[in-house]
Every structure is written in structure tokens, then in C-alpha cells.
Amino acid sequence: MHYQPPPDAGLTVIFADDALLVIDKPAGLLSVPGRGANKQDCLLHRAQRQFPDALAVHRLDMSTSGLLLLARGAAMHSALSRLFRERLIDKRYIAEVEGCPAADSGKITLPLIVDWPNRPRQKVDFALGKPSLTRFRTLARDAAQQQSRLELEPVTGRSHQLRVHLAALGHPIIGDELYGNGSLDSGERLRLHAAALRFVHPLTGEVLRFDSEAPF
């Protein structure tokens, strides 16, 4: 993978307190450092220049934009990790996909596992795959362009879950170079955006709601 992160124009901080951060990640930027010296520029390292105690709690794919939650300090990292582990954080994504799903809403339950010879690709595997659940809602259909806009809720958090599930459904996300018809050379971004986060603040008990409009 030839990694060309977007220029560092500063963080888009949606929320910050002494316990946690919510930052809007641009498409094309790694959430955390990858392997090799050329993959060290990432959202986490950019955040740590301003917030040295920032720690990654979850990740977004490099090609995905949107809301990323970071902990401040080890104790909050443990608390937020527990919320993710117990599925107490509500995440919603917006995607534009190829084709027009017939259903207005539904769920995809295909089990997923890493496609080991073709890493980082994942695949559906009914024998060895881990249980996976994605709920979807069709927001709009464009029959002329043969594409649709969906709201997605990943109940489980498997690697590339939304991308693999939608491709398996016959509606790959537009711009997906791994599971659809996208190409890294085309300049077209993956049309997947982490648009909403909902959770209870581990310290204050306040219900937090964050939204980010999809840039496509």
C-alpha cells in the first residue's frame, strides 16, 4: 500500500474534556500507526501532539472518515474499552453503495474471518467466521445512477465488517478498492463516514451525542 496521508491542517476536535476526545478523522489518514517508518503519520500521533495522554480506543479504516473516540489516560482507556466490549456505544455510519437494495431496512449476519493469504482482506466463512451483525436502513435510492444511500449500524465490530457485509449483499460501497470496484489510482474516496456516536460518559454519567455530516 502506498500511503499518502492528507496534509496536516490541524485537528477537527468535536469534543474534549479531561477524560476523552472526539475527533473527526479525514479520509486517507490511518487511525493508528502502521508498520514501517512511512506509516507513522496517523490521527493518534497528530492528536498526541496536542493531547499527550491521548490513547486509541477503537479504529476507523484508513479510507473511512468520521468520528473517532480517544481516551485520555490509561484509566479512561480501560473504561471506554469496556463500553465498546459490552456494546454500550452506539455507532452509526453513512454509506453510498452500488445498486438499489430492495429492502428499506434489514440486518446482515454473515460470519467474518481474515482472508489470511490476502491480508488485510476479510471474508465470509460459515465454518470458522466470527458472528457479525450489521443493521441497515435505506435512506435514498437513485435508480438512474444505480446507487443508494444507507445508514449503517455495526452491532459487532469486526475488521472491515461494513465493507464485507455490503459487498456480500451485492451492494459494495462506492470507491471500495478491496471489496468493490474502486481503485486507489482513481482518486475516488471510499464513501463511508462514521456519522454518529452515542454513549454515557464514564465519569459524569452524561449521555453524550455527537454527529458529523458525511462529506459526500
Q: Hey, which residues are catalytic here?
A: 61
Q: What CA–CA distance (Å, rounded) separates 166 from 147?
A: 13
Q: Are 182 and 190 in contact (CB under 8 A)?
A: yes
DSSP state of 28: T
Contacts of residue 188, Cβ cutoff 8 Å, sequence gap at least 6: 174, 175, 182
Q: What are phi and psi of 85, to 5 degrees?
A: -60, -40
Calculate the CA dihedral of residues 96, 98, 182, 95 and round it to 10 degrees.
20
Q: Are 15 and 34 in contact (CB under 8 A)?
A: no
Query: Is beta strand 105-108 parallel, antiparallel or unpaired with respect to 134-142?
Result: antiparallel
Contacts of residue 157, Cβ cutoff 8 Å, sequence gap at least 6: 58, 84
